[in-house]
Structure 1
Amino acid sequence: MIMDRELEGLSKELERLIKELKRLRKELERLVKPLQRVTLARQLETLVKKFDRLFKKFERLFKQFERLAKQLKGGRIKHYSSSQKILLVGEGDFSFALCLARAFGSAENMVATSLDSRGSLMRNYSKAMTNLLELETRGCKIFHEVDACVMSYHSDLFFMRFDRIIYNFPHAGYMNGSSSSERSTSQIWCHQNLVRHFFISALAMLTTDGEIHVTHKTSFPFSEWKIVKIAQDVGLYLVSEERFSLLDYPGYENKRGAGICDQTFPVGMSSTFRFAKNYLYY
């Protein structure tokens, strides 16, 4: 595939760059040694330390790139594979769904939904129509005006079962418009209510070994949502909590959705919480 050749070429180019950076580092060290008693040496030592920090950061990014390249070649990306039946809930401009579809090469096992109508998406998101068209070309089933709280009763989803149900950054909207505060008790309750009903609905749509994934901010006040406790209350258990990074999902642009829909927001400290059915609950 063309993508495979491009990834391989880029990987080799990055390897060459790392070797060149290592060579330059040794050259800097060589220059510092004869100047140990000169003021300039201190400046060079500072430069070497800065270089080291930059180099280590580059190495981390390179390792992450290599891991992503392997996932893309194998029809996998992070927690997901093309063999899984996947439902995406509450999509904004559908860029996350498209990211998965591109990694898989096909979206035939994917269903992507949004609370918005197709017309609303067209008005509110600059890339939504382009993303939707590519998803449809790749075989993704797309449904609009799907409420996450009652989606298990949706006529098109009622008989479907999924291996992975994904809801990224759930948000109930703002109760009091622009004057709303994420810290207020009533606002947090609204978010908790959304998550609780989503869990109940998603639970009914899971395969035997399926998982529900919720990506969510973990800093205050979002930590006050207590989504793990809510999940446990409805019959789910936490499989794992893993740090979320946008770098793991090339092309994904997280959107605000409420009010200024097409703007991104800082994800900050966020995790993907993976839940599965707790059979002891039943």
Structure 2
Amino acid sequence: MLPSSTRYHDLDGPDEQVLVVGDGNFSFSVALLELLQGGSSVTSTCYDSLEVLQNKYDDAQGHVDKLREGGASVLFQIDATRVAELPELDGPYDSIIFNFPHVGLGIKEQDDNIAANQDLIRKFLDSSSKILSPTGKVFVTIKKGEPYDSWKVARIGIAISGLQLKTAVDFDHAAFPGYSHRRTAGFGPSMPSEDPDIIRNGAKTFIFSSTSKSKKEDSDDEGKAKKNKTKSTLKKFNPKGSRGK
């Protein structure tokens, strides 16, 4: 089982198949791998190439090295909106995690910015739903406050076939020692080491679960349906309370 500090994140234990997308400098994946205490299969990815990543974040290479030493798979140039189409990601996954998704395009018009990020989240959730295990979950964490509240993440997820909203909880940054959120644009001397929006307003994790059933559940349901149909048919010939002669 996971340490109690991470139970809010609803990960079930050390035997999970975990996929992390859009992990910036990979510090979240390092913290997660250490908390899982081995045994899990962790695949950590980012959108950038290794060269771009190294130029953006000075600490990224060290985190990549730690992940590989710990047995995790590290992949670059992975588009979070197409995870179900990529041969590198064969699934199924028990947990798929996307922290602080953002298109990072510098769109100044707020309505256009909101629409672009909603499209990102919608495509990510739709693609993720196709590579979830029957009991799998998708975690999306965003900042609180505007414009993030206007993204309506819960509403987007509920509209995705194969997903249902399980819960939404406050994101506990302290539960992942060593994790440092990095902006999509990169990190440099002019930028603070911690995101001021998260410090000021906090963040929220939306947890979506799969609506798919396992083969056993489908078989059980089919068996119950056949049994009920048989009972219904028999009642036509021998209604309750009547006796045969």
Q: How far apart, CA to CA, are the structure 2 residues paired with 1:137 and 1:215?
A: 27
- Following superposition, the deviation at residue 78 of structure 1 comes to 4.4
Quote the residue 1:123 is aligned against: 55
Provide the aligned C-alpha RMSD in A. 2.3
Amino acid across the alignment from 2:64: L
Shift of the 107–96 alpha-carbon distance from structure 1 to 2, 3 Å rule, reads farther
Higher RCO (CA < 8 A, seq sep 6+)? 2
SS of 2:159's partner is helix
Amino acid across the alignment from 1:141: S
TM-score by length of 2: 0.77
- Following superposition, the deviation at residue 77 of structure 1 comes to 8.3
Q: How far apart, CA to CA, are the structure 2 residues paired with 1:259 and 1:126?
A: 10
- Following superposition, the deviation at residue 104 of structure 1 comes to 2.2
Work out whether 1:169 is the aligned partner of 2:96.
no
Amino acid across the alignment from 1:265: D
Q: Deviation per CA, 1:45-98, whole angstroms, max 9, x where unpaired?
A: xxxxxxxxxxxxxxxxxxxxxxx9x548xx978433321110001010100000
Q: How far apart, CA to CA, are the structure 2 residues paired with 1:122 and 1:134?
A: 15
Q: How far apart, CA to CA, are the structure 2 residues paired with 1:78 and 1:252?
A: 15
Work out whether 1:199 is the aligned partner of 2:199.
no
Is contact 1:90–1:167 with CA below 8 Å preserved after alignment?
Answer: yes
Quote the residue 2:87 is aligned against: 155
Quote the residue 2:160 is aligned against: 234
Q: Where is the helix percentage greater, Structure 1 or Structure 2?
A: 1
TM-score by length of 1: 0.67
- Following superposition, the deviation at residue 120 of structure 1 comes to 1.2
The number of residues matched between the two structures is 204
- Following superposition, the deviation at residue 237 of structure 1 comes to 1.4
Match 1:249 to one of 148, 155, 176: 176
% same residue: 28
Amino acid across the alignment from 2:127: S
Q: Deviation per CA, 1:9-45, whole angstroms, max 9, x where unpaired?
A: xxxxxxxxxxxxxxxxxxxxxxxxxxxxxxxxxxxxx
Is contact 1:107–1:135 with CA below 8 Å preserved after alignment?
Answer: no
Work out whether 1:265 is the aligned partner of 2:198.
no
